Structure 1
Amino acid sequence: MRAIDESPGGPVAVHGLVTVGTAGYWWLDTHAGARLLRGDATGVHAVDLPEGPDGLTPLAVHPADTGPSAVLYGHPGGDYGYLREPAAPDAVLARRPSLVHLERVPSATGGTAGPGFVYTGFAPGARLDDPPVDGLRVAVHRTGEPFAYDRAVALDDGPLALVSVEATGDPAAVLVRSTAHGRTTQRLLRLDPATGRPGLTTVSAASTPRTRMLPGADRWWHGEALGTPRAVLRAGLPGGKEGGERVVLPEGTAVAWAWATRRALLVRTVAGRGAEALYRVDGDTLQARLVAGGRPGDSFPEVAASPAGDCALWLRVSRRPDGTAEGRMELLLDGEDRPRALSATEWPAPVPRTTRYCRAGDGNRLPVQLSGTAGPVLLLEHGGLTALANAPLERALEELARAGQLTLARVGTRSLVPAHRVPGGERGYNDLLHAARLLREESGARRPLLVLGHSMGAVGAARAVLLEPELFDGWILRFPVTDLVGFPYLGIGRHWTGMLGDPSRTDQLSALTALSPLHLPLPAGPLPPLLIQTGTYDTRADARHGLRLADRLRELAAVTHSSYPVGHVERFCQAASRRAVAEVTEFIRRCPAVVVHDLEGASQ
């Protein structure tokens, strides 16, 4: 490790937070490149990484307190990569970021016990340039041995399983979450200390995708329906399947998510008009204590903790008295009352936001946050771009809003649900359309209105334009999902049937067809200009989603389709990502309605 001697200049992206023992790790991206940093009681240091294969980039690094670290190398923004550790003579294709270190693993060849890890990957011989969709397995690896010797763990979920592994407070056990046929099962995988053979014990079935089991050293925490008004947190003794005593938080706070350390639980809450805060729940008393945030302007774009570690790490963005903002990495050790400030960086202060409310077709009131007061209005789904507030595109859009060239409208759309349970396209699928009606009513015809959809958010954006094209002056679909009928045959779409519905079933096929942007009836008149961006290495939203919609609409709209050598996410340090962001901002500026609006404004 190397000491940090200076702060990087220019835009910064912080992401990929990981905690190991009493240290926290994070990626720091700038135009010059990406660095992995370690923060602990001694300060902040840069972590030296081994050279990877030519043309590939580190997607994830899983440090170890002792011994070598495992690194996943793949295409920028991709989901698959070659998993390597310095002592092993080979590599294996794996998915990120499911990898958990174990303290002692007996050798598969009969040797003595040593450090190892459990990961989700594919059989030896699988290739990165043609990543398999089926065949994902859980495997146990011993450091220094060939990956070909790894023990595979049979889950008996069939070929449709989505699998992840998570650390626990037991150094010889991990939690395995697998989803098959729309049902998520949580199992505890524990290694026999003598033979190293894995044993599986089912601990609970996750009733919703937002269910969490967090097995710490002294408490097993259970969160149900996190991020919804029905969220509940419980604490039980190790081995308890559904938790025990309910965790009580201050009145008026809504639980968004939770992370466990060895001894405590860290809870992210939202209160009032979106004020964010972090509470720590002590494992002995179950008392919740505020440890960060709670003030207007505070937000926590990313948080990390592990039941195998002794600390929590987070990125806090706060507003200074002069109106500017600052991003700070903070570390909270078990047993300490206050977090330690590790590093700080300049942060583009977002334009002060005002909130409007639109009424969806099913009667629900949806918040629409407006940043800026001038220029065209760009409507986007609040969570549709990324979970991180410092994503390259969102930072670029904020810069335009501060310069008075754009007004951002973020709508808090609701989670997607299976199509056959969504009468008339409500519950998320049409929320962007209702927000657009509100914005058009407030601004009239004086200001151009554009809509942007990313990933699943592209479903709502595309539906809004195809259903009421007269509302919009342009639309942007980035790495989109557009085919709700053929998605099981595109990339990893076969794993989405529990979330979207199953088109192989006649009763669900009709509902999916009615919601799918690729299958909606086309309007008679022309459509506004359209920009579609796809990623060559995007295994989540397969590029064919965007290609098929572009081909269908060319006779009705001026369609620009661009493909970039990236996956589903972006980084500042990747030139292709910067080009993709620049294309979006340029498309907005050159949209015909925007050009006319700017000329009229200049002449007045």
Structure 2
Amino acid sequence: MREPSESPGARVAVHGLVTVGTAGYWWQDAESGAHLLRGDATGVRVCDVPAGPAGLTPLTVHPADAGPPVVLYGRPGGDYGYLSDPGAPDTVLARRPSLVHLARVPSATGGTAGPGFVYTGFAPGARLDDPPVDGLRVAVHRTGEPFAHDRAVDLDDGPLPLVTVEATGDPTAVLVRSTAHGVTTQRLLRLDPATGRSLLTPLPAAATPRTRLVLGADRWWHGEALGTPRAVLRAGLPGNAEAGETVVFPEGTALAWIWGTRRSLLVRTVAGRGAQAAEALYRVDGDTQEARLVAGGRPGDSFPEVAASPAADCALWLRVSRRPDGAAVGRTELLPDEEERARPLSATPWPAALPRTTRYCTAGDGNQVPVQLSGTAGPVLLLEHGGLTALANAPLERALEELARSGQLTLARAVTRSLVPAHRASGGERGYNDLLHAARLLREECGPQRPLLVLGHSMGAVGAARAVLLEPGLFDGWILRFPVTDLVGFPHLGIGRHWTGMLGDPSRTDQLSALTALSPLHLPLPADPLPPVLIQTGTYDTRADARHGLRLADRLRERASVTLSSYPVGHVERFCQAASRRAVAEVTAFVRGCPAVANDLEGAPQ
């Protein structure tokens, strides 16, 4: 281990937080490379990561309480990789980042029980060159044994489940969540200590996509409809699947998400609206069930990443706040169960130094959609994506914030609503057209002379592309990054077959017409000229298959100036990867190079 060193002006990103025992782990990326850091009572140290296969990079590192970590090696930004366990003579293709360590796993060959883990992956022999999207299984592995000896868990969910495993407060049990056809099933997995057979106990099904069940040592926590006005948190006794007693929070506090440690629960909340909105973290102890404020609670604070595990006795988060001089700073902090205050571990300069202002646009169904603005000068760039805007360390967002801070760009983030099945979205509302309404607001607020561009990433590209195709005159350029564009053929692209519960099923006649009306690839092209478009795809993107972008680019070429670029990355970017930096640089160059923007910068009339 060695002390981490970063130059004061280095562009640093923090991500991938995980808690193990009394320690927190996280990646710290810079253009010079990436380090895995460990923070505990003794300070912060860099952890050595074992060398992986040639040409692959660590996607996820799973530290153990004792011994070397388990590492998932794959292509940069990818979703699949080879799971490597020290001592095991072979590897297995797995999906990140779902792995839970267990204290005792019976040997498949009849030996004594030893440490191991439960993971989601594929049968031995599956290849990274052609990662399967079906056949995902839960398997039990004993440390040091061949992966070919792993025991598969029979979930009996059919061929299309998306499966994750989560730690619990019981070191011999794992929570298994599987989603098929839009229905999420939750079960408790235990291993028979004598035979090693898997024992599954049904738990309450997830009533909504925002259901969260945390199985701590002292309490079982049940969060329902999190992130909505109907959110509620209940606490019950371990082993009791009933909802339990409701936990009370201060009036006006909205519950966004929850994470559990062995002894307590961490709750992210939001209170207030507009410039006075305040994000905060509360801790709820298992004995009193009293909610106590531990971090934040005032405008300007935010928590881009939070991590905790019922198998650990601490929580870890990245906290972004403003100093009195207006500069922003990011701090990684650890909260042990036995302490009342968080323990600062590391700090890094944060590029988002500009205060944000919030406007509200009225969507077509009457709902108020917030639009946050950073900066007051230059062209206006409107973007939307839950993952992009929530992770303040995303390479692109950091680069855009730096442009906003230097007065070269006004960055607008539309906090759009979750997509719903197409047949339930009358006229394209309920999220699909929110970016269009936000663009109309920005055109009114910023005036017709300032260039306006829109950016959509992943599923956010649906709203961005619809906005331009429906009203091209509003925009001076558009950018689609690793996009989803085909809402009719998506089940045959990448892992799209798992999205029918979220988007709708085009194999059903009653839903096909609604999906066709919403699909950017199938919208009628407008009579008015289309602004220039940049489309970026990832060679190893198994979420938003590259064919989504390729098909739309082919359709637009006769009507617009199309720049189509492919990068050897997956769906998630990191600073330390050269291809990711090139992709980010192409976006900023495209924004500056759009004719309307170039004319505006030169002071020429529009």
TM tier relative to shorter chain: over 0.9
Paired position in structure 2 for 1:456: 459
**For the structure 1 residues 444 and 2, does the alpha-carbon distance in structure 2 shift closer, same or farther, using more than 3 Å as the test?**
closer
- Give the Cα separation in 2 of the matches to 1:411 and 1:4: 36
- Residue from 529, 532, 537 that aligns with 1:534: 537
Paired position in structure 2 for 1:33: 33
In the alignment, structure 1 residue 251 sits paired with structure 2 residue 251? yes
Paired position in structure 1 for 2:58: 58
Paired position in structure 1 for 2:504: 501
Percent sequence identity is: 84
- Which deviates more, 158-167 or 338-347? 338-347
1:349-368 matched pairs, under 5 angstroms: 349-368=352-371
- Measured against aligned partners, the alpha-carbon deviations of 1:203-256 in whole angstroms (never above 9, x if no partner) come to 111112211110001100001111111111100011222420001111111111
1:437-448 matched pairs, under 5 angstroms: 437-448=440-451
Paired position in structure 2 for 1:325: 328
Shift of 1:427: 0.5
Shift of 1:382: 5.5
Paired position in structure 2 for 1:465: 468
Shift of 1:355: 1.5
1:160-559 matched pairs, under 5 angstroms: 160-273=160-273, 274-381=277-384, 383=386, 385-559=388-562
- Measured against aligned partners, the alpha-carbon deviations of 1:555-585 in whole angstroms (never above 9, x if no partner) come to 0000000000000011010000000000000
**For the structure 1 residues 404 and 386, does the alpha-carbon distance in structure 2 shift closer, same or farther, using more than 3 Å as the test?**
closer
Paired position in structure 1 for 2:131: 131
**For the structure 1 residues 367 and 5, does the alpha-carbon distance in structure 2 shift closer, same or farther, using more than 3 Å as the test?**
closer
- Give the Cα separation in 1 of the matches to 2:599 and 2:331: 42
- Give the Cα separation in 2 of the matches to 1:282 and 1:95: 33
Shift of 1:6: 5.7
**For the structure 1 residues 318 and 555, does the alpha-carbon distance in structure 2 shift closer, same or farther, using more than 3 Å as the test?**
same
Q: Alignment partner of 1:120: what SS?
A: strand
- Give the Cα separation in 1 of the matches to 2:336 and 2:371: 37
- Give the Cα separation in 2 of the matches to 1:136 and 1:386: 29
How many residues are aligned here?
603
Give the superposed CA RMSD: 1.3
Contact 1:384–1:456 (CA under 8 A) maintained in structure 2: no
- Give the Cα separation in 2 of the matches to 1:590 and 1:474: 10
- Measured against aligned partners, the alpha-carbon deviations of 1:115-171 in whole angstroms (never above 9, x if no partner) come to 000000000000001001111000000001000000000111111100000000011
- Which deviates more, 579-588 or 371-380? 371-380
Q: What TM-score comes out, normalization by structure 2 length?
A: 0.98
Contact 1:533–1:564 (CA under 8 A) maintained in structure 2: yes
Contact 2:332–2:345 (CA under 8 A) maintained in structure 1: yes
Contact 1:377–1:450 (CA under 8 A) maintained in structure 2: yes
- Give the Cα separation in 2 of the matches to 1:117 and 1:164: 13
Shift of 1:368: 1.1
Q: Alignment partner of 2:388: what SS?
A: coil
What one-letter code is carried by the residue in structure 2 that aligns with 1:217? Answer: A
Q: Alignment partner of 2:51: what SS?
A: coil
Q: Alignment partner of 1:205: what SS?
A: coil
Q: Alignment partner of 1:507: what SS?
A: helix
Q: Alignment partner of 2:423: what SS?
A: helix
- Give the Cα separation in 2 of the matches to 1:241 and 1:503: 36
- Give the Cα separation in 2 of the matches to 1:9 and 1:53: 32
- Give the Cα separation in 1 of the matches to 2:387 and 2:164: 23
- Give the Cα separation in 2 of the matches to 1:217 and 1:97: 23
What one-letter code is carried by the residue in structure 2 that aligns with 1:133? Answer: V
What one-letter code is carried by the residue in structure 1 that aligns with 2:46? Answer: A
Q: Alignment partner of 2:66: what SS?
A: coil
Contact 1:327–1:347 (CA under 8 A) maintained in structure 2: yes
Paired position in structure 2 for 1:563: 566
**For the structure 1 residues 376 and 5, does the alpha-carbon distance in structure 2 shift closer, same or farther, using more than 3 Å as the test?**
closer
Q: Alignment partner of 1:399: what SS?
A: helix
What one-letter code is carried by the residue in structure 1 that aligns with 2:62? Answer: H
What one-letter code is carried by the residue in structure 1 that aligns with 2:164? Answer: S
Contact 2:326–2:353 (CA under 8 A) maintained in structure 1: no
Contact 1:8–1:30 (CA under 8 A) maintained in structure 2: no
Contact 1:385–1:453 (CA under 8 A) maintained in structure 2: no
Contact 1:100–1:117 (CA under 8 A) maintained in structure 2: yes
- Which deviates more, 464-473 or 401-410? 401-410
- Give the Cα separation in 2 of the matches to 1:412 and 1:386: 9
What one-letter code is carried by the residue in structure 2 that aligns with 1:60? Answer: T
* Unaligned segments of structure 2, at least 5 residues: none
Shift of 1:69: 1.3
Contact 1:9–1:30 (CA under 8 A) maintained in structure 2: no
Contact 2:322–2:353 (CA under 8 A) maintained in structure 1: no
- Give the Cα separation in 1 of the matches to 2:387 and 2:335: 30
- Give the Cα separation in 1 of the matches to 2:385 and 2:506: 28
* Unaligned segments of structure 1, at least 5 residues: none
- Give the Cα separation in 2 of the matches to 1:452 and 1:237: 46
Contact 2:389–2:413 (CA under 8 A) maintained in structure 1: no
Q: What TM-score comes out, normalization by structure 1 length?
A: 0.98
- Give the Cα separation in 2 of the matches to 1:109 and 1:322: 64
